[in-house]
Structure 1
Amino acid sequence: MTTIPKQQKGNPRIPNAEGKTKSAGRKSSLLGIATTSVISVPPTMSIIEGVQMMSRHSFRRLPITDPGNKKLIGIVTITDVINMMGGGSRYNLVTNRHKGSLLSALNDNIRTIATEKVDSLAPSTSIQEAICLLVKSGHGSFPITNPDNTIAGIVTEYDIMKMLAGTESDLIVDEIMTKNPKVVAPDVPINCVTRQMVDHDYRRLPVVADDLLIGMITATDIMGYLGRGRVFSEMKTGSVDEVLNLPVRDLMTGANIRTMSPDEKINEVAREMLEFGIGAFPVIDEGKLTGIVTEFDLVKGLAGNM
């Protein structure tokens, strides 16, 4: 593990919920905005048990720690799970070690799909520097580790966005969104989606038919297919191909999908994301999909006001 130490000195000033600033004291330290009651699992837990836990708690990541000394060993993320389901190198676990049997692979140790070289932050890292590192690295989160490599907390882009949501900004969605995003058709098989997600580091893709947005397929949707047990009730052979050939339309979020207009102010979008617990909005202009705006986009945009 690589711990990134605090590099700034003094008490920075950060915006509060009313968009004003205050000295960053104890309550506005990095641990003050992070999750400090962190659930971790041992490296011997099975993959399916870990996926079930992530689905049950709506986690995007799950730290793995030594059961004896509690030191951080690695982290399994939702991207690692997608990678295993046909998106990348972890798919070899299924095809090679388990001869194409997804059921067998899911009972392997969770450490086999974990990311073990994890950058972490020190508790003394300033909030501003944490934001800069998150934006620069493109990571959705950083674990916060004590000097002995035990976990003190986890700070995510959601935590940062929540802190910054009260700030005022003149930026609008059109200035920060991903324009002309990649899309998928509703009948595309899941393995094509997992591959695109891993290759391009996406966590969601708009689903489009006849140039109209009909839904979103997210990494959470795909992981939930495993974690909530639906895959086992529908599976007949246990073959990974049986699961990965499922069409996108069977898993996507479609009903009452929320969208944004390109001229919406980004602080308003941030507040709506927090209110509805949504990590991204498709952007619609004159009835057509023109972009997608994510938590990460908002963190980058709102952090420019600090």
Structure 2
Amino acid sequence: MPFASDLAARLARSAEAVCRHYLSAGRRYGNYWIVGDTHNNEGRSLYVHLAGPRAGRWTDAATGEYGDLLDLLRETCGLVDFPDVLKEARRFLAISRPYGSPGDRVQPPGSTNRPAAERAKRLFAMAQPLQGSLGDRYLRQRGIVRASQHAALRFHPSCYYRDLASGSATTLPALIAAVTDASGVITGVHRTWLDPDGNGKAKVESPRRALGGLLGNAVRFNMPPGASLPVIVAGEGLETVLSLSHVLPGLPMVAALTANHLAAFKLPAGYIRLYIAADADAAGRHGIERLGQAARSIGILPLVLTPELGDFNEDLRRLGPERLTMSLRQQLAPEDAATLLLSK
């Protein structure tokens, strides 16, 4: 009878077959299988490594749960006793063939086996300053005119893009944002591929993608070492947070990039108030609730900022900075409204 570690290793060698069988609501994105959760709901919270040294390891960004494929079988099948988990693993391995058999699509060799954080750091280092670039122009078209002052943002004129369905690849200009941990170390990057002719985002299936370690981390703005402001703003998207930064200059802000990562963001110490930028969808509300609970547990007061329209970038573009300033003035704590907003 194989030991548990042997079974886990064998499952990892067939990681995609395991995912297709137990997490059929998901799909493959590069070297990951993406699905909503261990109950096989649709979504993008849970990701499973399909290749490389971490093949078979999975993390649910919404709950913080993680494990190997034996843990995944336990959760997806609702098993309680570990011998039942081993029995299910042996049953699956007995009826499955290794993915990559003749006729199956295999991943082409390349640099994807290099750790994702290392690739993220390399990409950010290769990118150019944002000022005057197509990325700067894209953000200005969105009403964000001072983005080039943020060290977390850069521009890459020919960033590699691969269509995850067909496997075809090309290069496109991209806005690059550094994802960092609390100490400022780059753990990942976020890429927004842009139309070379300056007409917004690139016309591809998924013009926004992240690479590397997002869980607990974020794109950080106005957070130099030793900063002492006791207030911080957290939101999902880059453009949402940058729109708020336009009328709240100098205020520490973070963009967690998704609702699930907003929920899992690790709040830095030293703050007394947290403003959470709301999004209208259900996933956004989940992120707000989870982050608010985490803030209260460490003595930080969470307050929600709500846009008048769909999101804060839409407020900035369609209503203008004066109207956005007025709306925020009514939502901020009085001491913050008096000191943080742009003067009229």
Q: Same fold (TM over 0.5)?
A: no
Please, what TM-score do these two structures have when normalized by structure 1?
Answer: 0.27
Please, what TM-score do these two structures have when normalized by structure 2?
Answer: 0.25
Q: Which has the larger radius of gyration?
A: 2
Q: Which has the higher contact order (CA 8 A, sep 6+)?
A: 1
